[in-house]
């Protein structure tokens, strides 16, 4: 079996053969702190740092509001699945360099046979790999750095931050949102829960004290993966009983995204007509999000787990220190409720976007679906450009929007999959980096024109070959 040292050596050798990182070619601008600021300190944010570095783009910073690496992203916080939901062999942060891949890292520690045996990557193991990736590549994340507000200026943005709780303003030319499911919206709390005190319920995105649920009766609303994972953890933590409520007559089991998971559809999806992209998003919503079989098996292994089908909640009221929930014609009482109800997308609800959210083009501004395909939630998704950039609702009103790139699930309707997941890295990270390179180059074209047309020092003097220049011998006949 190989070792961590061998793994690092192999990765170092791969980078050596690839050649050194290009020097930063982006010209300095007075008063600009960063060429690119990446919001989000998990795997996708660090992948962008590496990709930008390999593109020769310097002065890049990655920030995260979390206290440290262990609390950034989802893998060691609100993600509760035992294994990832994606296949183990998807291309990811390695960006085409096999020695940086999860497989290479895992086999170096456990052997090729061990990798062959696993079906899915364990969640904690994936977090360990991302930590190795980040530290091996020397990627520095600035933790305890919260983005409060983006203020557009001429040719750049002022970022109003809280750094260790202290207000600070920095400037940047480009922004990448790599901040996950809440990046352009937030947790969806069903109206039926609105009148309950938050001490009686939580969303799956919250930090839930599952140990406090020991001996308690718990209701879970929703039937996607996060709902089943939360139910599983509650049961494993000693809950007296867990009841999971599903609106549908059966749990969603059709993975609609899978049927278009081949290179032709994946690579060309962003160029599809709006009507085709909308239809695919609508079909995905209609089918529902199928939980992985292992998430279901995790919960149903407990005899005190119960599934209620065709069971939408009509009301939920506080009754003493418990919750009374009406489901159809029945009333149930619970000690605590967990909403596994997903997320909403609405740029106007994000405080950091408040200065310009009204100018962001949404799908409802660009496309009117047939009446039988309407979906108000999808209409609130931003209508993104080919490099995931925001676009103007009214041309000319907010030209700076093109400098904000969205690499989070708000790109679902535009790009056909949950953007920000591992699956989206191979196609979308290079597209965003390529556009940033293009923009930074042509915005400073005068500088680069002077640079590439300036005087060039000769590689050698004429004297190097002077002795070999043929000369007509004196007195020789000519023809």
Tell me, yes or no, whether 51 and 180 share the same domain.
yes
Tell me, yes or no, whether 324 and 419 share the same domain.
no
Tell me, yes or no, whether 328 and 383 share the same domain.
no
Q: Once rounded to an integer, what is the mean pLDDT over residues 255-267?
A: 88
Under the banding of pLDDT at 50, 70 and 90, the label for residue 184 is confident
Is residue 125 a part of any domain in this protein? Answer: yes
Is residue 278 a part of any domain in this protein? Answer: no
Is 3's pLDDT higher than 70? no
Tell me, yes or no, whether 13 and 148 share the same domain.
yes
Is residue 454 a part of any domain in this protein? Answer: no
Is residue 473 a part of any domain in this protein? Answer: no
Give me the torsion for CA of 52, 54, 57, 59, rounded to 10°.
Answer: 80
Is residue 467 a part of any domain in this protein? Answer: no
Query: Quick one: which of 309, 341, 330 has its CA closest to 192?
Result: 341
What DSSP character marks residue 194? T
- Gap between the Cα atoms of 327 and 446, Å rounded: 67
CATH of the domain at 240: 3.50.50.60
Tell me, yes or no, whether 196 and 176 share the same domain.
no
Is residue 272 a part of any domain in this protein? Answer: no
Query: What's the domain count of the chain?
Result: 2
pLDDT of residue 405: 98
What DSSP character marks residue 360? B
Output the pTM of the full model. Answer: 0.93
Tell me, yes or no, whether 8 and 141 share the same domain.
yes
Tell me, yes or no, whether 18 and 161 share the same domain.
yes
Structure-model confidence comparison of residues 471 and 47, the more confident one: 47
Tell me, yes or no, whether 315 and 354 share the same domain.
no
Tell me, yes or no, whether 294 and 430 share the same domain.
no
Burial of 4 (0-12, 13-18, 19+ CB in 10 A): exposed
Is residue 222 a part of any domain in this protein? Answer: yes
Question: Residue 37 in contact with residue 150, Cβ under 8 Å?
Answer: no
For 438, the domain range is 4-185+344-446
Of 280, 314, 341, the residue that ends a domain is 341
H or E stretch including 113?
helix 112-117
Tell me, yes or no, whether 13 and 153 share the same domain.
yes
Is residue 366 a part of any domain in this protein? Answer: yes
- Gap between the Cα atoms of 268 and 401, Å rounded: 24
Return mean pLDDT, the chain. Answer: 94
Question: Residue 195 in contact with residue 317, Cβ under 8 Å?
Answer: yes
């Amino acid at each position: 079996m190989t070792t961590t040292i061998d793994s690092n050596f192999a990765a170092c050798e791969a980078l050596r053969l690839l050649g050194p990182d290009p020097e930063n070619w982006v010209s300095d601008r007075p008063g600009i702190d960063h060429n690119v600021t990446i919001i989000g300190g998990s795997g996708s944010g660090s992948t962008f740092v590496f990709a930008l570095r390999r593109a020769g783009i310097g002065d890049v910073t990655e920030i995260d509001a979390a206290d440290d690496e262990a609390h950034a992203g989802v893998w060691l916080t609100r993600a509760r699945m035992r294994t990832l939901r994606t296949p183990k062999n998807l291309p990811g942060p390695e960006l085409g360099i096999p020695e940086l891949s999860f497989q290479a890292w895992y086999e170096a520690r456990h052997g090729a046979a061990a990798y062959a045996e696993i079906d899915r990557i364990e969640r904690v193991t994936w977090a360990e790999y991302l930590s190795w990736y980040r530290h091996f590549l020397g990627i520095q994340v600035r933790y305890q750095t919260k983005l409060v507000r983006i203020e557009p200026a001429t040719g750049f943005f002022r970022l109003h931050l809280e750094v260790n709780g202290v207000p600070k303003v920095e400037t940047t030319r480009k922004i990448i949102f790599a901040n996950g499911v809440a990046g352009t919206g937030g947790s969806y709390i069903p109206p039926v829960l609105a009148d309950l005190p938050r001490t009686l319920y939580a969303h799956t995105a919250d930090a839930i004290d599952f140990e406090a649920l020991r001996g308690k009766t718990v209701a879970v609303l929703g039937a996607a993966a996060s709902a089943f994972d939360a139910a599983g953890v509650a049961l494993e933590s000693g809950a007296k009983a867990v009841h999971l409520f599903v609106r549908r007559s059966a749990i969603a089991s059709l993975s609609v995204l899978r049927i278009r998971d081949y290179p032709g559809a994946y690579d060309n999806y962003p160029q599809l007509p709006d009507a085709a992209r909308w239809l695919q998003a609508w079909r995905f919503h209609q089918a529902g999000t199928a939980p992985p079989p292992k998430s279901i098996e995790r919960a149903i292994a407990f005899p005190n787990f119960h599934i209620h089908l065709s069971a939408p909640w009509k009301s939920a009221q506080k009754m003493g220190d418990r919750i009374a929930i009406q489901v159809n014609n029945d009333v149930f009482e619970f000690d605590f409720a967990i909403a596994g109800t997903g997320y909403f997308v609405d740029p106007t609800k994000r405080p950091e976007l408040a200065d310009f959210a009204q100018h962001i083009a949404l799908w409802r501004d660009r496309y009117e679906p047939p009446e039988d395909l309407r979906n108000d939630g999808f209409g609130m998704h931003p209508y993104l450009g080919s490099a995931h950039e925001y676009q103007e609702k009214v041309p000319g009103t907010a030209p700076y929007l093109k400098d904000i790139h969205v690499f989070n699930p708000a790109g679902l309707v535009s790009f056909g999959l949950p953007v920000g997941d591992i699956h989206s890295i191979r196609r979308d990270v290079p597209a965003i980096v390529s556009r940033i390179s293009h923009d930074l180059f042509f915005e400073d074209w005068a500088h680069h024109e002077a640079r590439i047309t300036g005087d060039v020092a000769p590689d050698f003097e004429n004297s190097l070959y002077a002795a070999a220049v043929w000369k007509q011998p004196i007195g020789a006949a000519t023809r």
